[in-house]
């Protein structure tokens, strides 16, 4: 039985979520049709562009993404404080970016002040909703694909799948899992050749910045504006960042990708141990954790302690999920 989305997404527990959406026609999303030989890879550009457009309108940041042949992954950060800080005019402007006809129609109705406030409140809530973000993304792509295919009916397999990322280790594990999807699927050999992923975009930005400013340290280089940046910040800073160095993350992805390609269980480079220690993750089981991230943890990822606090949302899955947490995370 399908569980309500409200039981899987709880912003009071965490602002970070890993979401996946799969195509009901499987290979016809972005890959090559085996029967006709027609290449639909151009649709990856549709999805990538729409993700970036929606992130500019919603108060939802993109930590990682990967667009595959029959599905895509996102790691999202919901910035509720940002949504609450918007003035009414900013809420109207952002909603107009997504639904211009809806916003203009409401304006033409000459609503009362009470009606305006009620509508602004509704839009503000939706602009921080993962469900609305995914709805806007999937409906747009489905319409464009159906128009191109001259078909009607369902394009996506069903509701998107979501996993709550309850601590820093869960967040970084999900991001690495997403960024390495093309390597795990054997359609790319290295992160820098994994097109239509966030790691590819981050690496291309680093290479461009380094070419222009070769003497600038990596931590000082500009990062892609449409992705949540890496970098340590003080409590006074309001801009969301991933509290981890870009250098360490690039190394984590690169070394993990090498292990996945070699398919050698436990073949972890010694230089990764300090990074994994900080994340409280068992280095011996790191590669296995990346391979099993979706199937092993179900709707939430984190240490046993944070999963216990998330217990009401896990229901019957809790015993198995906690066992996985004990296996993949180091003992406190």
Range of the domain at 145: 9-86+127-328
Does residue 290 register a pLDDT over 80? yes
| Any domain includes 227 | yes
State the pLDDT confidence band at 123, using cuts at 50, 70 and 90: very high
| Any domain includes 180 | yes
Region 84-97 average pLDDT: 96
Region 148-169 average pLDDT: 87
User: What is the secondary structure of 46-99 as a DSSP string?
Assistant: HHHHHHHHHHHHSSEEEEEEEE-SSEEEEEEEE-HHHHHH--HHHHHHHHHHH-
Per residue in 31-88, pLDDT tens? 777 777 788 888 899 999 999 999 999 999 999 999 998 899 999 999 999 999 999 9
Helix (H/G/I), strand (E/B), else coil: 132 = helix
- Residue 77 has what pLDDT? 97
Query: How many domains, in total, are found in the chain?
Result: 1
| Any domain includes 113 | no
| Any domain includes 183 | yes
- Residue 232 has what pLDDT? 67
| Any domain includes 43 | yes
Phi, psi of 329 (to 5 degrees): -95, 150
| Any domain includes 274 | yes
| Any domain includes 313 | yes
CATH number at residue 193: 3.30.70.1290
Per residue in 180-225, pLDDT tens? 999 988 888 889 999 999 999 999 999 999 999 888 888 888 999 9
pTM of the model: 0.91
| Any domain includes 101 | no
């Amino acid at each position: 039985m399908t569980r309500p989305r409200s039981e899987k997404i709880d912003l009071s527990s965490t602002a970070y979520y890993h979401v996946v959406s799969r195509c009901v026609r499987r290979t016809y999303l972005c890959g090559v049709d085996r029967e006709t030989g027609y290449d639909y890879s151009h649709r990856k550009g549709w999805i990538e562009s729409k993700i970036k457009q929606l992130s500019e309108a919603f108060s939802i940041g993109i930590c990682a993404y990967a667009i595959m042949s029959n599905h895509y992954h996102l790691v999202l950060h919901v910035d509720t404080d940002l949504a609450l800080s918007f003035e009414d005019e900013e809420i109207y402007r952002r909603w107009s970016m997504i639904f211009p006809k809806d916003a203009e129609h409401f304006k033409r109705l000459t609503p009362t002040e009470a009606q305006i406030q009620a509508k602004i409140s509704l839009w503000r809530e939706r602009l921080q909703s993962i469900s609305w973000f995914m709805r806007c993304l999937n409906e747009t792509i489905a319409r464009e694909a159906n128009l191109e295919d001259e078909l009607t009916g369902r394009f996506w397999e069903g509701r998107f799948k979501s996993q709550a990322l309850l601590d820093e280790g869960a967040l970084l594990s999900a991001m690495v899992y997403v960024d390495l999807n093309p390597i795990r699927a054997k359609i790319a050999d290295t992160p820098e050749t994994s097109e239509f992923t966030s790691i590819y975009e981050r690496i291309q930005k680093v290479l461009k910045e380094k070419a222009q400013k070769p003497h600038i340290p990596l931590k000082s280089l500009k990062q892609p504006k449409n992705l949540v940046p890496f970098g340590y910040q003080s409590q006074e800073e309001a801009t969301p960042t991933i509290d981890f160095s870009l250098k360490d993350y690039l190394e984590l992805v690169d070394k993990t990708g090498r292990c996945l390609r070699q398919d050698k269980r436990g073949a972890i480079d010694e230089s990764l141990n300090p990074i994994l220690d900080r994340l409280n993750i068992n280095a011996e089981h790191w590669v296995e954790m990346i391979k099993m991230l979706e199937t092993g943890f179900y709707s939430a990822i984190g240490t046993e302690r944070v999963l216990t606090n998330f217990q009401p949302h896990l229901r019957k899955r809790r015993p198995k999920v906690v066992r996985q947490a004990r296996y993949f995370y180091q003992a406190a």
